[in-house]
Chain A
Amino acid sequence: MKRTIYIFSDGELKRKGNTLYFETEEGKKYIPVENTSELFIFGEVSINKRLLEFLTESEIIMHFFNYYGYYVGSYYPRQHLNSGYMILKQAEHYLDPSKRLILARKFVEGAVENIKKVLAYYKNRGKQLEKYIQKIESISQSLQSCKDTEGLMAIEGNIREQYYYAFDRILDNEHFIFEGRTRRPPKNRLNALISFANSILYTVCLSEIYHTHLDPRIGFLHTTNFRRFSLNLDVAEVFKPIIADRVIFTLVNKGIIKPQHFEQKLDGIVLNEKGREVFVREMDERLKATFEHRGLGRHVSYRQLIRLELYKIEKHLIGDEEYRPFITSW
């Protein structure tokens, strides 16, 4: 299994022979490319074109985050898997409104089903969640009759709001209270966590798309504006509850993430460097965790699970097998 490298310190990243070489004031480090699949850059890192060429050759994608931990962008090397056929199919499913709606609805359904699984799990552990479960149940009634992606997004937004209010019951921690969703910047710690968790998951999904024949710019639920990546946002919806949110629950419930991991920035609250490190470490663990996959008859990690989901989307697009979003079984 290839690894993800997270760089938090400041320094220079360059090619040295056939390895990546990272130099900081404190020291030097060699990163072998053979077992590196992606780089997350949080620190102030300088790079040059030679490095980008090397990453392209080595099929390594690189994601950048700014000083506050906001996603800046990715270096997405020239696609190494290329199928004009798949791109045409993807475009076809985007351009045909009914085909697009089918896929868009599946992403929302997957998200909602997984949200319900998470809530059911904590309800069984004695959390008072009936009220939220019922509300979500009733909002999701309208999914089937919804006729456009805007409507789907609105329904999902409403469901997610109820779900986030349920976090207060699940976490039961005075330092992490929801108080409504705020972004750019998040207004409190829980919102800062949610935003950061989602942005990491989006980039992980983007990395996995890079290793398929899909074009990340053509999403179905999230409207493509032909500039930004959007397919990764679609796929991430399905996995937020079982990957990103689970990491939040673990970190808060185990007291690993604390108020001192946040800082007041601009007119909001963000994770500080230590907090981001703590978060990313737990997220990495989560992505590496494995479970038995029935179809494959062996264990797969959550990261592989995302790739398998992309394969299912490919199979849907080429008319091989209708896409059914992954629903967790716990």
Chain B
Amino acid sequence: MVNSMHPTGTLIWYYYICPREVWLMSRQLTPWQENPFIEIGRLLSEEAYKRERKEIHLENIVIDLLKTEGENVVIGEVKKSSRFEKSARMQLAFYLWRLKQLGIEATGQLLFPKEKKKIIVTLTKELKAELIEAQAQIKEIIKMEIPPQAQKTKFCSKCGYQEFCWS
């Protein structure tokens, strides 16, 4: 049931937050965001890094191309907070891998302007293995007849499914 609406990169993002979210997303059960401020992250990124900004389009997703230094391509993402660091790192690693399959060697940068923090992501063997495992797990989750049970984590309070899961 993986389809074009939820490309793997997005599912990888959700997978590292909550498997239940992956399942719900796979059924198009998108949460209703009454509060538009939850998704404000994108706007913030545009302000902070406007000058260097160029874009790469991959799987309906736009990744920021930060620099090209000779042969070396640096892609990156700007995030509001490091709360979802693991998700962000794995998603970026996934894009590095996809680029590599297209013949582009790149490194990644995660930028957290508010926290003045920068994380460099390179596609290592370990990361690749982890991604392969994650993809297999995502497939398993989506195949499940019923969703994985809700479990309270630090992510619930900022999750669009909060009201759904804890009603």
| Selected contact of A296 from candidates B32, B146, B149, B162, CB within 8 Å | B162
9 contacts between A and B (CB under 8 A): A1-B34, A81-B30, A83-B27, A83-B28, A86-B28, A211-B32, A308-B163, A318-B29, A319-B146
Name the interface residues of A168-198: CB closer than 8 Å to any CB of B.
none
B126 at the interface (CB under 8 A from A): no
Whether A84 is near chain B, meaning CB under 8 Å from some CB there, is yes
CB neighbours of A319 from chain B (8 A): 145-146
Instruction: Tell me, in angstroms, the Cα distance from A84 to B30 when the chains sit together.
Output: 12
Give B129 Cβ to nearest chain A Cβ, in Å: 32
Minimum Cβ distance to chain B for residue A141 (Å) = 30
Chain A residues, CB < 8 A from B149: 320
B residues engaging A (CB < 8 A)? 27-30, 32, 34, 36, 145-147, 149, 162-164, 166-167
Return A205 CB to nearest CB of chain B, in Å: 15
Contacts beyond the supplied A296-B166, A307-B163, A319-B145: 15 A-B pairs with Cβ under 8 Å: A1-B34, A34-B36, A81-B32, A83-B27, A83-B29, A83-B30, A86-B27, A211-B34, A295-B166, A296-B163, A296-B167, A308-B163, A311-B163, A315-B167, A318-B147
A213–B28 CA distance with the chains assembled, in angstroms: 9
Contacts of B147 in A (CB 8 A): 318, 320
- State how many residues of chain A have any CB contact under 8 Å with chain B: 26
Least Cβ distance of A11 to chain B in Å?
A: 28
In the complex the two chains form, is A86's CB within 8 Å of B167's CB? no
Per-residue contact bits, chain A 48-87, to B (CB 8 Å; 1 contact, 0 not):
0000000000000000000000000000000001111110
- Known contacts being A2-B34, A296-B162, is A312 close to B28, with CB within 8 Å? no
Which residues of A, 290-317, contact B by the 8 Å Cβ criterion?
A: 295-297, 304, 307-309, 311-312, 314-315
B167 contacts A82, C-beta separation under 8 Å: no
Chain A, Cβ-Cβ closest to B157:
A297
Tell me the nearest residue of chain A to B20, going by C-beta: A320
**Partner pick for B167 among A85, A309, A318, CB 8 A cutoff:** A309
A320 touches B146 (CB 8 A): yes
**In the complex, are the beta carbons of A315 and B164 less than 8 A apart?**
yes
CB distance from B84 to the nearest CB of A (A): 21
Q: How far is the CA of A1 from the CA of B30 in the complex (A)?
A: 20
A34 to B33 alpha-carbon distance, docked (Å)? 13
B163 touches A213 (CB 8 A): no
* Assembly CA distance A315 to B147 (angstroms): 9
B167 A308 Cβ-Cβ under 8 A: yes
How many angstroms from the CA of A211 to the CA of B167 in the assembled complex?
A: 15
A311 touches B34 (CB 8 A): no
Q: Which of B32, B34, B164, B167 has the most chain A CB within a 10 Å cutoff?
A: B167
Chain B residue numbers with a CB within 8 Å of A297 are 166
Q: Separation in Å of the A57 CB from the closest CB of chain B?
A: 14
